[in-house]
Amino acid sequence: MTNTRRAVVTGASTGIGEATVRRLRAQGWDVVALARREERLVVLANETGCTYIAADLSDEAQVTRAAERILADGPVDALVNNAGGALGVDSVAEADPQRWRGMYERNVMTALLCSRAFLPGMRERGGDLVFLTSTAAHDTYPGGGGYVAAKHAERIIANTLRQELVGEPVRIIEIAPGMVKTPEFSLNRLGSQEAADKVYEGVAEPLVAEDIADAIVWTLTRPSHVNIDSMIMRPVAQATNTVVARRK
């Protein structure tokens, strides 16, 4: 009988999700990578030995099918709810409802659907649910209303679950990163590489995906009686969502 632990990582085709798959595989975990872009998952699987399923995780039917396939091969010890993202920098007064709905689907519904799919087995035999929120889940900033609202909602899923499942063998973990320089987060949000580059301009050392992956794996490898309820991570150059030291 193997003692190898098994994890599912969502949003695994790039950024923090990809880095988490790589870190878990390096530590000997079996990992199933989930994301929409199959071509990226194929490369990741070839490089790390993970398995993968391509799916739109905001679609309930696709989540159900993916979970059935995964659980048919054995139980899952950890789910890393990393899929999400921001769209635009709309003010509340000029909000684009389509963007706000999109952020809610990507961040909140994806986390809800995936958590619900794997919770029954975890409640029976134990397991860990990790929610990748953001410092946006703990505060706000101008132009961030839609993303802030979605991340606050995702954080409340975790906080509520922790109370609803108290006494059961499931750990609920929140990781809330601040400024993380990844290839796609700001690009997807702002729509151009030039605009994305300005987000990190002059910042000495923003966090990178590997920093967050390291923290995720650390929380998952604590003794089973230890729960890391919430971890906020920022680069030293960032004090709040809007107070950032920049070199001139």
Annotated catalytic residues are 147
Kind plus residue range of the DSSP H or E element containing 39: helix 38-48
SS3 175: strand
Kind plus residue range of the DSSP H or E element containing 156: helix 145-164
Q: How far apart are CA 132 and CA 99, in angstroms?
A: 20
> 101-105 long-range contacts, Cβ below 8 Å, gap at least 24?
103/146, 103/147, 103/149, 103/150, 104/149, 104/150, 104/153, 105/58
- Is the separation of the CB atoms in 3 and 29 below 8 Å? no
